[in-house]
């Protein structure tokens, strides 16, 4: 008896998703609650599990297609027997390969093609004993990551099921730079157009992911709605660096997590938000909402883009609690397993561009929040201390805020509170 597999409820206000990758092929054995497909929503990846034990049956939707909540995407034959020699790919590539061979040859736009958009999931395979026209089947999510990071998938050894290339495989691969002609496949060299040899220009068109579309829409909405302004300050990191160096080994031994800089800034922000409540507020209609709690949104980099999970009640957490929460968010963002509810309801955001080398920026607020704190790289700069010019590890801070709610005086006062707490971490312990 066949059991329908439907798109699950994806969260409030989310009615559709993109089928990113089939994790099981027709004919493969599956167990109840075992993931069989991965969906991409506006914010996170969601796995679809098999409702029963059995064998994977018909797949009603192709990878890259848009599906509605409640739609049937596959069938599972309950109690069936797995077919021998089941292939991991949900599509029959043989017919595609024959059609491509029968079609007139067209000049390639580059020595190695990664594909674009949703029209082709394959790339030329290099080396090995097989046919030169063999294809590597990539999921849409992996294919987009290949294009973004400029890597050659034919040089990647897949660690996924049946040797399929995963996102982690792409992230670990080295980007393609300049390669000697003899390193390219013979078939690719033969198809390379004359324009490529003479420095011809290339273009790639790749459909925006749902996450990137959502980020673009929300950031533009923020610019159109809020009266944004940014104020800056700098902070001497000497004392925080010294405290971290002094206690990091003991901290990790006791709590099982590394002591980072973000914990200091989260705790400093909770104190500053208490003293300057407007920065922690928001505008709802013709009312201002003030809060006595701090739900800190922390920008985390993920393979599919930037996500912003929320540290709930950060004012009540210890340093260890903050660091464990951030580490867990980072790991699950990489795995694509963050939940929708974990990225809703933040009252203030901290974004650390310093990990990528940023010296200074003007971050955009995350609506309906009224402010965002931008952290940047630490570098030694000459400063004056007690009449002497000395080198100190300095960091620029940027606070972007909604001027409709937060006045300049409040914004400056907030940054000064952060600066004082970081330059004298004892304040964090005695609540000053």
Active site residues: 403, 407
Full DSSP string of 2-71: EEEEEPPP-STT--EEEEEEESS-TT-EE-TT-EEEEEE-SS-EEEEEPSSSEEEEEE-S-TT-EEETT-
Separation of CA 75 from chain center:
31
Phi/psi for 302 (5° steps) reads -130, 160
Q: For the CA atoms of the chain, what is the radius of gyration?
A: 26
Q: How far is CA 226 from CA 74, 85, 278, in A?
A: 44, 58, 15
The crossing angle, in degrees rounded to 10, of helices 238-255 and 408-423 is 70
Distance (Å, whole) CA 302 – CA 148: 13
- Residue 87 exposed, middle or buried by CB count within 10 Å (0-12, 13-18, 19+): middle
Residues 6 or more apart whose Cβ sits within 8 Å of residue 160? 166, 169
Q: How far is CA 327 from CA 228, 256, 263, 337, 346, in A?
A: 31, 11, 11, 14, 18
Q: How far is CA 84 from CA 30, 53, 55, 81, 87, in A?
A: 14, 18, 12, 9, 9
Buried b (16+ CB within 10 A) or exposed e, 207-245: eebbbbeebeeeeeebeeebebebbebbbbbeebeeebe
What DSSP designation does 257 have? S
Separation of CA 43 from chain center:
9
| Preceding peptide of 292 cis, ω within 30° | no
């Amino acid at each position: 008896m066949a059991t329908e597999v439907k798109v699950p409820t994806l969260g409030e206000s989310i009615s559709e998703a993109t089928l990113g990758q089939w994790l099981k092929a027709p004919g493969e054995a599956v167990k109840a609650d075992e993931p069989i497909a991965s969906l991409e929503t506006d914010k996170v990846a969601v796995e679809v599990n098999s409702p029963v034990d059995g064998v994977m049956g018909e797949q009603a939707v192709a990878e890259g297609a848009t599906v509605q909540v409640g739609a049937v995407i596959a069938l599972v034959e309950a109690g069936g027997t797995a077919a021998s020699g089941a292939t991991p790919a949900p599509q029959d590539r043989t017919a595609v390969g024959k059609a491509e061979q029968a079609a007139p040859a067209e000049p390639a736009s580059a020595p190695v093609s990664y594909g674009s958009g949703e029209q082709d999931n394959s790339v030329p395979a290099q080396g090995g004993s097989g046919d030169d026209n063999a294809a590597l089947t990539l999921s849409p999510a992996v294919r987009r990551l290949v294009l973004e990071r400029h890597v050659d998938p034919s040089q990647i050894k897949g660690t996924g099921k049946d040797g399929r290339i995963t996102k982690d495989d792409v992230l670990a691969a080295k980007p393609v730079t300049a390669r000697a002609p003899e390193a390219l496949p013979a078939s690719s060299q033969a198809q390379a157009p004359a324009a490529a040899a003479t420095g011809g220009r290339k273009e790639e068109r790749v459909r925006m992911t749902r996450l990137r579309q959502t980020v673009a829409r929300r950031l533009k909405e923020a610019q159109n709605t809020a009266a944004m302004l940014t104020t800056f300050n700098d902070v001497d990191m000497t004392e925080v660096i010294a405290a971290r160096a002094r206690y990091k080994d003991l901290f990790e031994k006791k709590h099982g997590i590394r002591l980072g800089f973000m914990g200091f800034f989260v705790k400093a922000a909770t104190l500053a938000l208490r003293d300057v409540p407007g920065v922690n507020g928001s505008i709802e209609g013709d009312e201002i909402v003030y809060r006595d709690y701090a739900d800190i949104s922390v920008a985390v980099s993920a393979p599919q883009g930037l996500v912003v999970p929320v540290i709930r009640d950060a004012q009540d957490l210890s340093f260890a609690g903050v660091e464990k929460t951030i580490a867990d968010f980072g790991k699950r963002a990489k795995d694509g397993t963050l939940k929708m509810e974990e990225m809703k309801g933040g009252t203030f955001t901290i974004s650390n561009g310093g990990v990528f080398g940023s010296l200074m920026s003007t971050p955009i607020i995350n609506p309906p929040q009224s402010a965002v704190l931008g952290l940047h790289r630490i570098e030694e700069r000459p400063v004056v201390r007690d009449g002497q010019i000395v080198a100190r590890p300095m960091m620029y801070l940027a606070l972007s805020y909604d001027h409709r709610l937060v006045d300049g005086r409040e914004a400056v006062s907030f940054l000064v509170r952060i600066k004082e707490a970081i330059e004298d971490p004892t304040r964090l312990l005695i609540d000053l």
